[in-house]
Structure 1
Amino acid sequence: MSIPQQGGGPIERREQLAEYLAAGCKPREAWRIGTEHEKFGYRLADHKPLTYEGPSGVRAMLEGLRDRFGWKPVLEGDNIIGLAKGGANVSLEPGGQLELSGAPLATIHGTCEEVNQHLAEVRSVAQEIGVGFIGLGAAPVWRHDDMSMMPKGRYGIMTRYMPKVGGHGLEMMYRTCTVQVNLDFASEADMVAKMRVALAVQPVATALFAASPFFEGRKSGWKSWRARVWRDLDASRTGMLPFAFEDGFGFERYVEYALDVPMYFVYRDGRYIDATGQSFRDFLDGRLPALPGEKPTLSDWADHLTTIFPEARLKKFIEMRGADGGPWRRLCALPAFWVGLLYDETALGAAWDIAKGWSAEEREALREGAARHGLDAQIAGRSMRDIARELVDIAGHGLTARAQAFVFDADESHFLNALRETVDRGETLADELLRRYDADWGGDLDRIYAEYSY
């Protein structure tokens, strides 16, 4: 989850809302790659989730990274709730999941090096305080009562509100992890083309990265329980955004959608003010019940945009949000997949050719099928596995066309190898975990920590 945004001063004209998004337009040479990934921390002694305090707690983890590796602390009151260095941030999810929000980097070589450095730093501190970290889409064993809420004001507000609007909001907050990539656009037309491909193809990424077949100590019946959770969280702020495929979609249409999403909070003077269920439209008119007579700033608008969770999210860049967290190779494969598809015009067109004939109903069915069946899902008479193979090949051509060499690498396409292996075997990480649970572990899910942690 995001830290408070710094979007700008007072909103004096409604047009500023769309202008804020349009300010993200960049020439191709300025396009960057921002990779984010979350991971579960646990105590090595008993595999229990981390609390905030204590010698093996989240605070100790953050303080260790601060002291040893030069990260600047981000505070909320007296609590350290994040870190910042060189354009990157380390932040906390509600249940103590640790997230790296990477710096905007020019190549996947750079973002993968950043991921590897971060995991090395985390492992160094974690081993000393008796902690391990694992990358999966959902916590395989823990129950909600096992989790501790991190001391961030927005999480208290969300925890109270989520059960009012969906059945799985607290599961998402406390017991899921994702990996995502943030990519740029050149113009409104380029944003539209990329958003449409990102939304339509997102279920393919969900299937390729499915890594959460267990929940609360048993098989969930879904290849991605994390993706299942997102289907019943809060319909007003999640989903596949059918309007993005309609004529006239652009920055202004996304603004209209965002204005219709109920608010969570307003951030003022270092604290979060509960505005759950209230309207940003009323805020624009000075009629927000939480702050009567006060009008919003662009920082408030930027904060509000972080509380919207569609499968692809528009801010001053586009966030691809459909993948489960996973092992380190897949943390590099996710940006490779999307950069290959979206940062090369030929690849972008080829990806759209695959998806452009799908109806809104078919896209939604594919979203459910990906979560439930992974690569065994079907759409329009085609298997998910065949579609995934074609898209991974297209992404490979897109990365080769970028020709971003590094040391002995001719380009970035080798970062797709983990996905090529997945498609060739027809086995996602979820399938592998299920197979090992049945055949190798004898139903002992506790084995997952030793064998799949970073």
Structure 2
Amino acid sequence: MSAPPTSRGEPITDRRQLVEYLEKGNKPAADWRIGTEHEKFVFRGPDHAPVPYAGPGGIGEILGEFQKRFGWQPVYEGDNVIALTQGLANISLEPGGQFELSGAPLTSIHQTCGEVGEHLSQVRAIGQDLGFGMLGLGFNPKWKRSDIPWMPKGRYKIMGDYMPKVGTLGLDMMTRTCTVQVNLDFASEADMVKKFRVSLALQPIATALFAASPFTEGKPNGFQSFRSHIWTDTDKDRTGDLPFVFEDGFGFERYVDYALDVPMYFVYRDGKYLDASGLSFRDYLDGKLPILPGELPLMTDWSDHMTTMFPEVRLKKYLEMRGADAGPWGRLCALPALWVGLLYDGAALDAAWDLVKGWSREDRASLRRDVPRLGLSTPFQGGTVQDVARHVVDIAREGLRSRARTAGMGDDETHFIEPLVAIAESGRSLSTEMLEKYETVWAGSVDPAYRDYAY
């Protein structure tokens, strides 16, 4: 989740400025980058309890150690450090203390995987001294929502108060979920549209491949990806699979219209978050926002508002792939490998579009509905999602091979997708693996997950 803006930006006097904001994302292929983000649960050993912000060994002290040992720079909200920056990368906190690395925009998966590895080595070094670990799964496998401490960020107080008004699972989303995502570029509006459609149609396939959230409060919950299911009852105004993306005429302007119709959460002014929950950005454009009468929005308000929409794929000045559960180290590299392979090679993008362009709205809706529970075994078009996943992974692997981005030993990027090849071929997601362990070697306990899957 984003840190507070550092500058106010220009006032918005014309709706066209909102479209231009998105158009500034257009880049030639030579300038396309890969930005990987991943969240993880911070836990205390040996009871695996969540870690609060304050106190010895708390999240605040952990952030301080990153500053002292590794040169990260603090971002404050009031008296609290709530984020860190280093170059173009940043570390931020989700509402329940989930620790997020938002990586720098890099040119290859070799680089982004190296960045992830360096970050996790820093995590381990500090964790050994302060007595904490970090776990990458899609949903907290053990603790109740009431057990999770909230982080001292003003936007989360506003969101936490609003969530129960619009859905039953929003607070679980905020405090008990973790994801890995990748942010990718586009060349033009037409390129954005094609990539948006392909990635939105295939997001449930990624959900099935990365499913890693089968437990709730120590017991199986009946889902492969409970994290994905949670989004179906969080807030219908700002989640979902966006059917309008597949309609004729979709482009930057249509997405702006969608964003303007998403109710606001807040406005950030003078170091504080003002509660604007449920209010209209359209009214704000007309100077009629009740909490700031007569004021026009700033571009920072618009960029903030763009972060409060949670569809399966989100458009900003790039496209965010948002359908995957967090997982172990290798899968943090496999997620960008999947989407870079599909979207950054022209032949692969064409093949992926050929695969999905005939899917109906109901096809896409059925995948979104059924995959969280059934994963790769979800029935689809006379076969299963596993059949589709095999094809998708093959396309992505060929796209990576065609990109031919090599590292020092001459290896291209294809080896990063191998964990997904194994999952697609076997039909065994991480959730399947964990459920089998739960029934056998874990002896009906989820506590071994903190040993087997911690970073």
Q: TM-score range by the shorter chain?
A: over 0.9
Write the distance in 1 (CA, Å) between the matches of 2:317 and 2:383: 35
Residue aligning to 2:254: 253
Aligned 8 A contact 2:178 2:326 in 1: yes
Cα offset, 1:4, TM superposition: 2.6
Q: 1:38 to 1:7 in 2, by over 3 A?
A: farther
Write the distance in 1 (CA, Å) between the matches of 2:365 and 2:12: 36
Cα offset, 1:368, TM superposition: 2.0
Residue aligning to 1:225: 226
Write the distance in 1 (CA, Å) between the matches of 2:47 and 2:215: 19
> Is 1:277 the counterpart of 2:278 in the alignment?
yes
Cα offset, 1:397, TM superposition: 0.5
- Bigger shift: residues 96-105 or 291-300: 291-300
Q: 1:265 is aligned with what amino acid?
A: F
SS of residue in 2 equivalent to 1:263: coil
Residue aligning to 1:215: 216
> Is 1:12 the counterpart of 2:13 in the alignment?
yes
Residue aligning to 1:131: 132
Q: 2:233 is aligned with what amino acid?
A: D
Aligned-CA RMSD value: 0.9
SS of residue in 2 equivalent to 1:82: strand
Write the distance in 2 (CA, Å) between the matches of 1:444 and 1:34: 36
Cα offset, 1:32, TM superposition: 0.1
Residue aligning to 1:331: 332
SS of residue in 1 equivalent to 2:36: strand
Cα offset, 1:370, TM superposition: 1.5
Residue aligning to 2:406: 405
Aligned 8 A contact 2:3 2:82 in 1: no
> Is 1:3 the counterpart of 2:3 in the alignment?
yes
- Structure 1 unaligned blocks of 5 or more: none
Residue aligning to 2:156: 155
Write the distance in 1 (CA, Å) between the matches of 2:292 and 2:371: 42
Write the distance in 1 (CA, Å) between the matches of 2:39 and 2:153: 17
Q: 1:7 to 1:23 in 2, by over 3 A?
A: farther
Q: 5 Å matches for 1:260-299?
A: 260-299=261-300
Cα offset, 1:7, TM superposition: 7.6
- Bigger shift: residues 400-409 or 148-157: 400-409
Write the distance in 2 (CA, Å) between the matches of 1:356 and 1:4: 39
Deviations 1:81-100 (A, max 9, x none): 01000100000000000000
Aligned 8 A contact 1:7 1:302 in 2: no
Write the distance in 2 (CA, Å) between the matches of 1:272 and 1:69: 30
Residue aligning to 2:114: 113
Aligned 8 A contact 1:157 1:265 in 2: yes
Q: TM-score, normalising length from structure 2?
A: 0.99
Residue aligning to 1:38: 39
Residue aligning to 2:357: 356
Write the distance in 2 (CA, Å) between the matches of 1:425 and 1:379: 18
Aligned 8 A contact 1:358 1:380 in 2: no
SS of residue in 1 equivalent to 2:233: coil
Aligned-pair identity in percent equals 60
- Bigger shift: residues 1-10 or 392-401: 1-10
Residue aligning to 2:56: 55
Write the distance in 2 (CA, Å) between the matches of 1:290 and 1:363: 39
Cα offset, 1:442, TM superposition: 1.0
Write the distance in 2 (CA, Å) between the matches of 1:129 and 1:326: 23
SS of residue in 1 equivalent to 2:90: strand
SS of residue in 2 equivalent to 1:442: coil
Residue aligning to 1:302: 303
Q: 2:373 is aligned with what amino acid?
A: R
- Structure 2 unaligned blocks of 5 or more: none
Q: 1:11 is aligned with what amino acid?
A: I
Query: What is the number of equivalent residue pairs in this alignment?
Result: 454
